Amino acid sequence: MYLPEPPHRHGTPGRIGILLINLGTPDAPTTAAVKPYLKEFLGDPRVVEMPRALWWPILHGFILTSRPGKSAEKYGLIWTAEGSPLLVHTQRQAKLLKGYLGEFLRSKSEPSALSPTLSRERERGQSTVPDGTGSVMLEFAMRYGNPSIAAGLDKLKKENCDRILIVPLYPQYAASSTASAFDGVCAALKNMRNIPEIRTVRSFHDHPAYIAALAASVRDDWRQNGRPDVLLMSFHGVPRKSLEQGDPYHCECQKTGRLLAEALQLEPTQYRISFQSRFGRAEWLKPYTAATLQELGRQGVKRVDAICPGFVGDCLETLEEIAMEGKATFLGAGGGTYRYIPCLNERPDWIEALCAIVAEHLHGWNGAVAEASSRERALAMGAKD
């Protein structure tokens, strides 16, 4: 009934484990690989809240017979020699975070002691906590596709992790993303006899370090390429019904956008917040990104820069939908210049921000982590420089 437990080693202190979770990706940009991925994704009742008796015939009879081929073509446009961009960025973020966090825990200093310059130890992700304080093990997983959440938890348990922090890489909470990640964790725990202690990061949409990293990424781009007339902040959309039923996602996106605009000292006319990736005929959160770009293009706006603050790593929704389709939409409507500002990806300030977020949630476990407030303040002040 339950999976076999790793061999018990008496006298061995337990470890702390961290599991980063992102949405997922097919294994290849092919119809054959995309179909099972979409089946798992769209079969999640958190993603499509319809009675299965109604949704299943639509999913299997129509969507899975036509959409995988079209999606595979889009994945082919962004696929790299290393593989799926989302998988590559998540792997790198996990490796860098392990180095940053290990160095931070070992030093037991204030988070502000972290240098923006990556050390060799950080770059290799080989930094660990010395004996006596326990070591932190870190894995990453995908909610859909590979590597699975169950596989990630299994690896951590085999490393004797009896306390595990779950970190969904979604800045804004939504039932269809964050809660679904927690569902995946709970499903894996149901198969365990010896369940580890679990903590979760619910969201970090207004975390000072996250906002500071976003603002720094925009300022760095503008220093090289100049400022636009309008900064478009595009978030992934969800059905409007979810807002009416109590999902806080819309409010958290709006707060992220407002805080980013304040950090960049933008006037209300200098930025827009919109929602992308609409699926189906139901009304979704508005304004829609495509409609907003058409409106700006018809107004003859000379330059629009687009950024996706709801994603911490570039993926299909940012590289193809926003960078490519968004550009075509804006220019086709009569707009001038269009630029896409990449996600945070492996920026050192973002990895430091993620380290601060994780450190806060590890506080009290084995005396491992100190306060992260001073680093937050330093980063927040930097957002206005």
| Complete DSSP assignment for 336-369 | -EEEE----TT-HHHHHHHHHHHHHHHTTSTT--
201 near 357, Cβ under 8 Å?
Answer: yes
pLDDT tens digits for range 148-184: 999 999 999 999 999 999 999 999 999 999 999 999 9
Full domain range(s) for residue 169: 15-21+84-205
Q: Are residues 235 and 328 in the same domain?
A: yes
Tokens 């930094």, located at residue: 127
CA–centroid distance for 304 within its chain: 24
Any bridge partners for residue 25, and if so which? Answer: 145
Q: Are residues 72 and 94 in the same domain?
A: no
- The reply to whether 201 falls in a domain is yes
Counting residues of the chain whose pLDDT is more than 90, the rounded percentage is: 80
337 near 303, Cβ under 8 Å?
Answer: yes
H or E element that contains 144 = strand 136-145
Model's pTM, two decimal places?
Answer: 0.89
- The reply to whether 367 falls in a domain is no
Q: Are residues 92 and 167 in the same domain?
A: yes
pLDDT tens digits for range 203-226: 999 999 999 999 999 999 999 999
Q: At what angle do helices 85-107 and 348-362 cross, to 10 degrees?
A: 60
Q: Are residues 288 and 249 in the same domain?
A: yes
pLDDT tens digits for range 248-307: 999 999 999 999 999 999 999 999 999 999 988 899 999 999 999 999 999 999 999 999
**Predicted local distance difference test score (pLDDT) of residue 111:** 41
pLDDT tens digits for range 83-96: 999 999 999 999 99
- The reply to whether 6 falls in a domain is no
Can you tell me the distance from the alpha carbon of 184 to that of 174, in angstroms, rounded to the nearest whole number? 15
Can you tell me the distance from the alpha carbon of 384 to that of 382, in angstroms, rounded to the nearest whole number? 5
Report the number of distinct structural domains present in the chain: 3
